[in-house]
Amino acid sequence: MKGILICAHGSTESETGSAVREHSARVSSLTGFPVYYGFNASEEPSITDALHKMSADGFDNVIVIPLFFAPGFLANKIVPKALGMEPETTEGEVTIEGHTIRIRITGVFGDHPGMKDVLREVISSCGASAKDTAVILIGHGSKDGKNSATVRYNASFVSEMGYEVFCAYNEMQSPTVEEALKSALGTGCKQIIAIPMFVSPSVHSTEEIPAKLGIKEGRKTAVGNTEVIYCQEIGMHPKIADILAERAGSV
């Protein structure tokens, strides 16, 4: 019996779990397969417990979707390990209490071409005009550079739409959020749209980044004659579920 397991990082922010549940419901509807979910930390069930539940429910063919923006330590090492597989592996078999399960792990969502449609919808919802608007894509940042590579991949889509686009990172890499904001303001644009390339709300996206953009409350501020709009985390967009479903169908 075939099923899908969505693996997320987990957070103390309550919206994270609801986002995973909403994506899970839509992925199940799109694929026709039952969808379970598990978390690496902070929330229940754990990835390991979720897989054990699927085993107990009779599943012997499980497609695992890492709900992460970019490849890296969590998606490529922690998720396989939690499933009882070797790090960096994407396919294998595990045995749980005598029951063997075939596992295939998909790619993450941030480097999928469907992100172009997601970004187009997010930017359009702000009433943006390419002539007067600059866009800042804000990644978490990583030591191995994989996060920045995925942010730049998405920036290419925004550039194709005709917008001036800047990449920024909350930590570990540069340009910083403050540096990117300064560069965007330097274009003389009337509007700046800042998009956090995060899966879901966290202290990074709800407190640290808004402060760096000069936003004290809400999602907007003004710097001189320029309006700065801070969008919802990209991973919360409903169309991310479409990407997850496509990932599931590609393995």
Residue 236 is classified by DSSP as G
The 3-state secondary structure of 146-174, one letter per residue = HHHHHHHHHHHHHHHCCCEEEEEECCCCC
The single residue listed with the structure tokens 């595990």 is: 94
Report the DSSP beta bridge partners of residue 28. none
Task: Clarify whether 140 is annotated catalytic.
Answer: yes
167-188 b/e (C-beta count within 10 Å ≥ 16 → b): bbbbeebeebbeebbeebbeee
- Going by C-alpha positions, the residue among 25, 28, 80 that lies closest to residue 51 is 80
Q: In Å, what is the CA distance from 250 to each residue of 64, 197, 199?
A: 12, 24, 21
Q: Catalytic: which of 9, 23, 140, 237?
A: 140
Catalytic residues: 140
